Structure 1
Amino acid sequence: MYLGVGLGSGVRTDYDMVHFRQAPPQCTHLTGLLDVFKNKLQCCITSPPVLVSVRFTYVLTEWPHTLWTQQPPDFDATLTEVGFSDLGKLPFGALSDPVSELHLSATWPCVTEDVLVDSDVYSDLDPGSAPLWTARLVTSSSQPCLLSEYLTDFIHVCRNNQSISQILGPDYTQDVDGEIAEFSSALDRLTEPSVPSLSSVVGRVRKGHKGARQFVSTQSGENSPIPTDILIPILNYLFPDAEGDDPNDPYPNTLTQVPEWLAPNGEVADHPLKSLLSNMKSSGVDGLVWRLAVVLCHVAHSLGGLPAAAHLWHEVILELRFRWEHAVLIPGVSSGVPDLASTILHQKFQMLNCCINRRKAREQSSSSKSSNEDGDDEDEFYECDEDMEEDEKSNGSRSSWDKPEGRIKRCAKLRLLKTNEPLYIPFTQEPAPMTEDRLEEHAGVLLRLGTDALGSQLRARMMSASLLSDMESFKAANPSAVLEDFVRWYSPRDWIEEEGSDPDQPPQGSLSTRMQIPGNMWREVWTNAKPVPARRQKRLFDDTREAEQVLHWLASLGPGSLCCNLLPTATHASLCRLAEERLLFDLPAPNSLPQPCHSSSLATVLDVITQRAVRLSRHPPDTNKYQELAEQIAEVEVCVARAQSVRHKILGDNAGTEESSQHLEKLVLRLLDSPEVSLEGGPRGPAALAIRKLFQQARKF
């Protein structure tokens, strides 16, 4: 193919392009082309020497010695050979080689015709002697990558509004709440459901020596979305305490928002994502919610999609139900009351653990009470010290109905105002924990009561339940107490003590102004309070009712709603997986990604994406916005995959001196950042030698 362009004296001439099926003999070398060119000029006078630029381009499309090693995850191999370490981590990388071609060009730029000789018998145009060598990459425009595919399939499940029973059938989920009648089990033997539940083919669980479940027997569930031989190890991965004392994948002792490799020995490393990840409304790394999100990504992509997700969630609900009924704590959940900075699903698991702890404490208290029924000690909450024994002796004339109960210890040196007896701290009920949605519901009820007198009275009663309980406990522990004594212990700032009081006499003082307002709620509650110790009061926190509400809320979630609640955690896991790639710190950012500044690295762009993920995690999940975020994550993943491919090709078999390795590292970055790069040192530089080696090996192949 020949194309001519003439430039001179402000005139540009475009010559017609000529394409030959076979090149004419005189046009296969430079001398013949110069003759054709000069003949076309038809100049009568002697023309000056012609300036010639020559470029030879070699295209490499085969990579025989560097086959692309990225393979999609194989669940069979994962379960039988590797174990479940791969399931705890999202996959990363391109499914096929993102670099399709490598172009190497040898160029002689702007030399006169008498410098080069190229004829049909001799040629100076040896690529090894060309003064300029350049290289460029040709990459795939749309390259599928594992991490972005997993996240996209997860978002697709989020957009489904079907319930578990609609997906799997009502027969499959009829025993979720454990309300099947005895006669129905007999009918079930005659009419087995089309998709058997794991609980129907596996002996559910039995209590081990530490309260963990253990599978009794296994059978194959051929019609299940997830085969039983795969489902059981997944459940053991989510609930590792079921495996006994030495589980394969135990949960970490503490759950943090930052991965362990970012926080060695509990100290957060100097990483640009450390502060962003810690502010994300997600759940602890490698906790139950984290593992559930990662496993559901695997299930949605590789184990059957929506039906498999519904099947797994159904079995998780059965496991949670079993743990509540047998008072077995849920592993992989932060201890304490629900953490409002975490996702609502993690808060629900925390609430269920709170209910289990309260139930165990209540049952233990009941058993200890029954064992002490025949004893002489009527107060089981405290041990008498010497001061308390003296007080008991001095108050020996007190009637049995007025005897103090539920004391913990003396409150410093405080004494009761009327009798000058020591003031004791009572056992009180702990305040009822609440999840984020229950707090919003409670606040909404208070707002709907209105501002009239009746509404204000109802609101005060709802808010004073905990105060009434504490007052009754205080009265039981201090039978001779008055409201002022309770205020001195419960709210010291509302007691104004007079100066110069005799320490041996009852203190003199008065209540604060707000406590003396007519119709004060505290005085009204104190009047209605009876001396009842905490163990005999109506429970402020009904663990049975709260646990049933949590289990009902979880069972009402379809796989789509579940994945919506897990979206922030799945995104959190994806960002952590990206941050593990060290190439992010060196790679330039493509123009298609958000640019925080004119010259940004890919790591800086990842910070911008993480900031957006943090904002999205604090709002109701929007699948469209998360899809945009997944597309940006996909672009970052493609950039890293290309860099991995180029490094694998150029640096794989070219281990040399430290200086040459640095030149090759720079070459990789320049190839990814520029359309075409010149090779330092020409044909004899380390970069050219590495590329020539690729061509030589391809020729041998």
Structure 2
Amino acid sequence: MTFPIFDDNLYLFHMKDEVEKANQELTSSIEDLIAGKVEKIPPSSVVKQLAVALKNGRKFSSMKDLLASSTSSSPIRDRAERSISAMKSLVLGEEERTASELGVDDNFTVLMQLLFNSEGSFLNRNGDIDFVGGTATALPRDIHAAPPESLVAKLSEVLGNFSNLKKMALFWCSIVAELQRIWSEEKHICGVPLDDIPDLNCCLLHQQLQVINCCVSRKRRRAVAIESLDSSVMGESPKPLRSACTNNTTSPILYARLSTGELIPRLGADRPSDNLVMLETGEPIYFPATQEGPLLTEDLIKEAEEFVIQTGSVGAGCSHLLSDMQAFKAANPGCILEDFVRWHFPPDWTESE
């Protein structure tokens, strides 16, 4: 009678080879990204890794909990990762090392520089990939994803090349810190449109990054507008009556005459109306530079709709209307409520007898 022979040393030797091979493959994939060696489409292993990370990440309420759990003997830890970590401890005679000890900090730094380099071509894939019934540019919108060349798409591919959830979490924390630095320095995020309202056909994260860039652009415009307004108010003096009339010139009209004959500066006036004049003064009505609309991502739009349904209030809309009224009054000294209605709600205005 024969019996199977089990050699512990041989088993550990094979397990060591498998662990080292897996780590080498994952390291080489990161190095290939850094070196710019990318395939026409990301490999399926990247998508699979992201799917596993998404599933396991839902077990944690915060990134802090995830990192704390991955460094302890928590039972929530992924079974496969526990097996590899335990085998590494047995085979290599050492405990699982931290991210800095694993030498991924250098890769983190290089990957961050590549991702946030606006002049670089990191993970850019020239040309569209033909699909049955569509193209690669239409596919992201169909599945509510991020554009192929966007920061979110590139970040997803980088995360999918990490070997475990802990490294993904550490890299994501680095990304968040970099975004905070960019925001504090009032810079734009590369790989995201500079001044577009959130695209509701894209994923939520891409929409949120669009909001950040829009806020930076609006803040810059506001600073320029305030400087221009201050210089106009402090450096200009009242001009003759003809300065308040339309002469088909491109020069801005800075003053309007009241019914008393007093000249009042127009603040925030954009352009004159084609055929509207103020009812009491006869001065031309000017379009004001109004407040820009709110930047709403899909989750905020849903939240606002639910608020209106529950309370019947449209507070945000009222605030925007009040802002328009204030801007109109500043740009058109001597105006009355009827003038605002004629400009803002033309269909609602009817001439009284």
TM-score (norm 2): 0.69
Equivalent of 2:198 in 313, 338, 350: 338
Taking the TM superposition and a 5 Å limit, the aligned residue runs for 1:178-577 are 221-222=100-101, 227-241=104-118, 246-249=119-122, 260-262=127-129, 271-274=132-135, 278-299=141-162, 304-334=163-193, 335-366=195-226, 375-376=235-236, 387=247, 392=255, 398-399=261-262, 403-449=265-311, 456=312, 459-496=313-350, 509-510=351-352
Which structure: larger Rg? 1
Q: Shift in Å at residue 438 of structure 1?
A: 1.0
Deviation string 1:210-263 (CA, Å, 9 cap, x unpaired) is: xxxxxxxxxxx325xx6122112211232123xxxx5343869xxxxxx8324x
Contact 1:338 1:433 in 2 (8 A): yes
The answer for unaligned runs of 5 or more in structure 2 is 1-23, 72-96
Letter in 1 for 2:166: P
Question: Measured at CA, do residues 354 and 389 of structure 1 come closer, stay the same or move farther in structure 2, by a change above 3 Å?
Answer: closer
How many residue pairs are counted as aligned between the two chains?
A: 291
The answer for unaligned runs of 5 or more in structure 1 is 1-71, 92-146, 173-193, 197-220, 253-258, 263-268, 450-455, 497-508, 512-701
Q: Shift in Å at residue 363 of structure 1?
A: 3.5
Question: Measured at CA, do residues 80 and 341 of structure 1 come closer, stay the same or move farther in structure 2, by a change above 3 Å?
Answer: closer
Question: Measured at CA, do residues 390 and 237 of structure 1 come closer, stay the same or move farther in structure 2, by a change above 3 Å?
Answer: closer
CA distance in 2, matches of 1:81, 1:394: 66
Deviation string 1:136-191 (CA, Å, 9 cap, x unpaired) is: xxxxxxxxxxx2x4333322211222232223349x9xxxxxxxxxxxxxxxxxxx
SS of 2:286 mapped into structure 1: strand
Q: Shift in Å at residue 337 of structure 1?
A: 0.8
Equivalent of 2:35 in 83, 95, 113: 83
Greater relative contact order (CA < 8 Å, ≥ 6 in sequence):
1
Deviation string 1:287-308 (CA, Å, 9 cap, x unpaired) is: 1111111111111xxxx31011
Q: Shift in Å at residue 488 of structure 1?
A: 2.0
Contact 1:87 1:295 in 2 (8 A): no
Letter in 1 for 2:158: V
Percent of aligned pairs sharing the same letter: 26
Query: If each structure's helix is expressed as a fraction of its own residues, which one has the higher value?
Result: 2
CA distance in 2, matches of 1:282, 1:289: 9
Question: Measured at CA, do residues 384 and 354 of structure 1 come closer, stay the same or move farther in structure 2, by a change above 3 Å?
Answer: farther
Contact 1:88 1:291 in 2 (8 A): no
Question: Measured at CA, do residues 238 and 405 of structure 1 come closer, stay the same or move farther in structure 2, by a change above 3 Å?
Answer: same
Contact 1:78 1:84 in 2 (8 A): no
Question: Measured at CA, do residues 360 and 437 of structure 1 come closer, stay the same or move farther in structure 2, by a change above 3 Å?
Answer: same
2:47 corresponds to = 151
Letter in 2 for 1:409: R
CA distance in 2, matches of 1:404, 1:82: 56
Contact 2:200 2:298 in 1 (8 A): yes
Letter in 1 for 2:120: P
Question: Measured at CA, do residues 369 and 298 of structure 1 come closer, stay the same or move farther in structure 2, by a change above 3 Å?
Answer: same
CA distance in 1, matches of 2:27, 2:287: 59
TM-score (norm 1): 0.37
Contact 1:251 1:287 in 2 (8 A): no
Letter in 2 for 1:305: N
Q: Shift in Å at residue 470 of structure 1?
A: 0.5
Question: Measured at CA, do residues 361 and 411 of structure 1 come closer, stay the same or move farther in structure 2, by a change above 3 Å?
Answer: same
